[in-house]
Structure 1
Amino acid sequence: MAANPEVGTAYYQRFDIGEAENQAEIVESNLDLVVNGENFEDVIKIQEFSVLEPEESDFKYYAPSVGLILEEEINEDGDKIFSSSLQEMADSESNAFINFLDAETTTTVDVSAVANSAFDNVGGFYQAIDTQGTAIDPVSGAEIAVGDAGYEIAAKSSSVGEFGVTTGETWELDAGFVYIPYLLADGADFLTGFAEANIDGLNHVQAVGEQNFGFEDLIGGGDNDFNDFIINVEGV
């Protein structure tokens, strides 16, 4: 989550006038919930709605460093229906990179990307020195862990390439590094599979197939479909 989410904060999730005018608003914060037997603190509750369908309204509950944990829908009879959507952060993050730490030679890979979003997204990979995502400061050479000050700058400085939607590019990836996929959502917000590195404290990338990496490009988790921008890597 953002460091201090405020009740009343509202934003558009999608905006295409007359077609998709989806909005969200933080309606409660600092909640304590028990979901599937697990305790969660500092949970925020977000209402999702659209002026195009004013009769429909859903609520989602997000926990810090976990993401979406519970959804609440109102059926036609006005009854509340709850469903759990706990994200397995450890599993999704552990697979959301290319590990060449033990490789002995440079590897040639083909990279392509498709998009399912109105955003002008830019994807890429940066070099890390371990599977925890540790990056190297470009000036001092110091190791910077995920979540530490200066991490985004260090990660971007270690980028091996960026691209928008593309049918194919060929890259040479050096041995001895882990390659972390990242997204510049709408060309701006830096998002990765490490929740601590992201502006909202949520995971934004999952492995969606063999060497396919799917992104959720909306701050706050959006619809958690992880298909807004999908990178495919061949040759690994």
Structure 2
Amino acid sequence: TKRTISFVVNDGSLNSTAVTRDINFTAVNDAPTDLELSANTVNDEAPANTAIGTFSSTDPDQKDNFAYSLVSGIDDVDNNAFTINGNSLKINNSPDFKTKSSYKIRVRTTDNGNLTFENGLTINVNNGREIPNRLTNPNDDVFNIKGKDAKVKLEIKLTGHSSKKVNELGLFTVDDAKGMIDGIAPGAEGYAKAALKRSKVILSAIANTPNGFDYNNLSSLLELNSGQSFRFLLVQDGTLDAVRNDPNSIGKLLFSSVSTQKITKLGDDGFSLGWKDTSGNSSTDFNDLVVKIKQTDQALPLGTNLQDKFQGEVIDLRDVKQSVNAKFNVYREASYNNYVGFYQVTDENGGIDTNGDGKPDILTGQAGYTQAAVRGRIAGIDLSVSNEGSATLSGTFQPGAIFVPFIIVNGSPDALLDKDSNNDPAVYFPFLGANSDKSPHIRMLASNTFGFEDLPGGGDKDFNDLIIKVMTTTV
């Protein structure tokens, strides 16, 4: 692409010359960032060569074409049972639910520039009984989710945000299609307090993203009971943790309504939710925070069991039997040289075992808690990066425990653990009681993705001073 620019050269006196130059721009191809299949079920005893669904790819390049192929790797065990024709996935032989109720495949999308993205997919066999509409919007802003199992999962993917506030999206369960909670109707006195008790953290959308950090790929998975009804809320410029800790801030909760949320039905049995906060923007666009929601059969990522709960910015590996390899993507937008590490706790409340008997010896807020956490940090997980930079680091978590992130502000573990307390840097945790200012300093940006704020009292509340994205796999 060629562009022409004009400019004036002046020698500092009265003489100047106008010049026109042509500049050629060369487009750079970007790799695909996501791969989806339009449907993931096939009927029991469906004919051979039945089409399951069609593939689509997400790519920063607007006019890319994609080729799809079955490839070896994680979840490739049933690749031989399928054929890809163009962008259509077909099953080679008639499926039998009694002998095999699901298949796992691994698919690669390749763009025009030969750049690729891979994803493991699960294809379920419908056993002939009618599959209920898994995710529905039966009334106003109330949703209902159903599935063949007692537990079902909801995927929430961030697709856009324009607010200058760092808002947190939450979900809370309700008793019926009217949104009632224990007999309290939406908008009635006591409803906000009742909703807060039932609320689950989903994700936060930060206003300013560090270099290299792509919010388009952020998503969270929640597990709910089949048949459960629920609504959404937004915590404006705050967190559910902070509101629970300070009941006087309950006014930060913004409940869904026709003036705050726009619901759009999508063609893949999902919905788009667009929010408008009260930041003063008079625009009618509901784009302050936009997510796509749909029912999914994906397994919860390793470590996320507690992340929808109060002070749940942790890696929970209590139900894991093998060591876990962790890859950490680290991003920074801060002048301070911050350090992030992880330490082990005995329970969801953050107690630390110092004598090895498995019981908490130091609780959050008690004297010596910070030193015990830093002293007991997991060896080999020392996360930092230069300002406006990014890095990929790795480490190992042992199974059967909860691991908690902490941030040392503009300092290192050595500065905290030496004998000179005058040079101790500030240290912040997910547990508000352990923080000297009792303020949140760590947010859930998505599943296994944490944003950190390094200034006291909540600082500028941008939560982009460090961002840690953790990818976990068993050894």
Normalising by the smaller structure, the TM-score range is: 0.5 to 0.7
Q: Deviations over 1:33-65 (max 9, x none)?
A: xxx988xxxxxxxxxxxxxxxxxxxxxxx9994
SS at match of 2:427: strand
Does residue 199 (structure 1) correspond to residue 419 (structure 2)? The answer is no
Q: What SS is found at the alignment partner of 2:458? A: coil
Please give the residue correspondences for 1:195-234 in structure 2 after superposition, counting only pairs within 5 Å. 195-234=432-471
Q: Could you say if the C-alpha distance between residues 224 and 68 of structure 1 is closer, same or farther in structure 2, counting changes exceeding 3 Å?
A: farther
Q: Is 1:164 aligned with 2:381?
A: no
Is the contact made by 2:362 and 2:369 (CA closer than 8 Å) also made in structure 1? yes
Match status 1:185 vs 2:409? yes
Give the Å deviation of 1:92: 6.6
Give the drift of 1:164: 0.8
Residue identity in the other structure for 2:384: G
CA pair 156-221 structure 1, distance change in 2 beyond 3 A? same
The equivalent of 2:331 in structure 1 is 114
Distance 1:139 1:175 in 2: 16
* Displacement of 1:178: 0.6
Distance in 2, Cα, partners of 1:225 & 1:68? 22
Amino acid at match of 1:235: T
The answer to whether the aligner puts 1:174 opposite 2:398 as a matched pair is yes
Larger radius of gyration: 2
Instruction: Note if contact 2:312-2:430 (Cα within 8 Å) is conserved in structure 1.
Output: no
Q: Which residue of 2 aligns with 1:151?
A: 369
Give the CA deviation at 1:66: 3.8
C-alpha contact (below 8 Å) 2:311/2:431 kept by paired residues = no
Q: Secondary structure at the match of 1:208?
A: strand
Partner of 1:176, secondary structure, is coil
How many Å separate the matches in 1 of 2:395 and 2:463? 24
**Bigger strand share:** 1
**Contact 2:346 2:360 (8 Å CA) reproduced:** no
Match of 1:99 among 291, 296, 316: 316
Stretches of structure 2 lacking an aligned partner (at least 5 in a row): 1-190, 194-241, 253-277, 280-306, 412-424
Alpha-carbon spacing, 1:120–1:93, altered in 2? closer, same or farther (3 Å): farther
Q: Residues 67 and 202 of structure 1 are in contact (CA less than 8 Å); yes or no, is this contact kept in structure 2?
A: no
CA drift of 1:167 comes to: 1.6
Report the 3-state secondary structure (helix = DSSP H, G, I; strand = E; otherwise coil) of the residue aligned with 2:341: strand
Give the Cα separation in 1 of the matches to 2:246 and 2:376: 27
- What CA distance in whole angstroms lies between the structure 2 residues aligned with 1:162 and 1:152? 17
For 1:125 and 1:193, how far apart are their aligned partners in 2?
11
Q: CA, structure 1 residues 149+209, in 2 after alignment: closer, same or farther (shift >3 Å)?
A: same
**Alignment length (residue pairs):** 163
CA shift for structure 1 position 120? 1.0
Shift of 1:223: 2.1
Identify the structure with bigger relative contact order (alpha carbons < 8 Å, sequence gap 6+): 1
Q: What is residue 65 of structure 2 aligned with on the other side? A: none
Is the Cα contact below 8 Å between 1:65 and 1:202 reproduced in 2?
A: no
Deviation at 1:91, TM superposition (A): 5.6
Any conservation in 1 of the 2:430–2:442 contact (CA below 8 Å)? yes
Q: Give the superposition deviation at 1:144.
A: 1.2
The aligned counterpart of 2:58 is none
1:130 equivalent among 333, 347, 366 = 347
Contact 1:101 1:130 in 2 (8 A): no
1:172–1:147 Cα change, 3 Å = same
Amino acid at match of 1:144: I
**Equivalent residue number for residue 162 of structure 2:** none
Deviation of the 1:137 alpha carbon: 2.5
Distance 1:116 1:68, change over 3 A: farther
The runs of 5 or more residues in structure 1 that have no matched partner are 1-35, 39-61, 72-81, 84-89
